[in-house]
Each structure stands twice: as structure tokens, then as C-alpha cells.
Amino acid sequence: MQPWQTPAAILQVRRILTSYRHWFAHDLIPGALDLEGEELAEAAYHAPRTLLSHGSQPDPILNYGNAATLALWGYSWEELTATPSRLTAEPMERSARQRFLEQVNSQGYVADYRGIRIAKNGQRFCIEQAAVWNVLDEQGEKIGQAASFSRWKFI
């Protein structure tokens, strides 16, 4: 079993996708929420766009990243899920990133985000048309934030 196929990862994917539907009123990955277990895990992990999330700790740790995310940032699953979310941006970009995440926190979501990020190897890239949203649990409580995008360019 791959780490993204564990019950905890599958629950996180369901929460990410259900929260996306809640905020945007349509599905990020059409038909995925009709799937269960490993089929849901496969659909999200192999989606043709990034999908990542972090928790709600004071310094949030990434807790999910699909294959596109892992490839773009150059992390293994184990590395990604031990990385503070803030480290996906360069130090000079972190204050702008934090202000943006506070906006998402208060609004619930942002549909068209653009920003500079940095891969594990130091490669910088600009993400475009990213959706970022609050992840809710089954009781509607905020448990983190997620992002997804399919457009980026290396700089």
C-alpha cells in the first residue's frame, strides 16, 4: 500500500474535494466524490493538476500532495508530509503568502491566485490560476487549507 492509499490519506482527499465542492459549487475532479477507498485515492493522486493541503497548526505542516505536487516540488511523500507549508515559498515571498492565506481563511476560498513558489532543489516557479480553499471536516469545522492548479512556469 502506498502512503497516499492509507485510510487517513483517503479521508483527507475526501475532505479536500468535499470542501472544494462546498466553496466553489462544482467538483474539482469530476466524478471523484462518487468513488470510495482506493479508487478515490487513485483519482486524486493521478489527477492532471496539483492537489495539496496543510493542517491548521500554528506553523501548518503539509499533509497531502498528489503525484503532480510531488513531482513539481521534488519531494517524496514522506518529505512533503513533514514540511511546513511556508517552506514552499522563498523567504521574501512568505509575508505575501501569509497575507493571502489570511484572506482565504476569512473568505473561505480564492479562485484565481498567482504566486512564486520554490521547489526542494531551489527551482523557482510561478503558479497561475490557483484555487485555494479552507478544508472542512464532517462537522464543518476548518481543519486546514488546500490548493490546486494546473498552470505554472519555471522562472
Q: What is the pLDDT of residue 14?
A: 98
- Model's pTM, two decimal places? 0.94
Per-residue confidence in pLDDT tens, the chain, 155 aa: 899 999 999 999 999 999 999 999 999 999 999 999 999 999 999 999 999 999 999 999 999 999 999 999 999 999 999 999 999 988 777 787 778 778 888 899 999 899 899 999 999 999 999 999 999 999 999 999 999 999 999 99
Q: What is the pLDDT of residue 149?
A: 98
Q: What is the pLDDT of residue 44?
A: 98
The size of the chain, in residues, is: 155
Which residues are CB-contacts of 89 (< 8 A; sequence separation ≥ 6)?
97, 115, 116, 117, 118
- Domains (range + CATH), the chain: 3-154 (3.30.450.20)
In the numeric block, which cell numbers belong to residue 19? 470542501
**What DSSP string runs through 76-95?**
-HHHHTTSBGGGGS-GGGHH
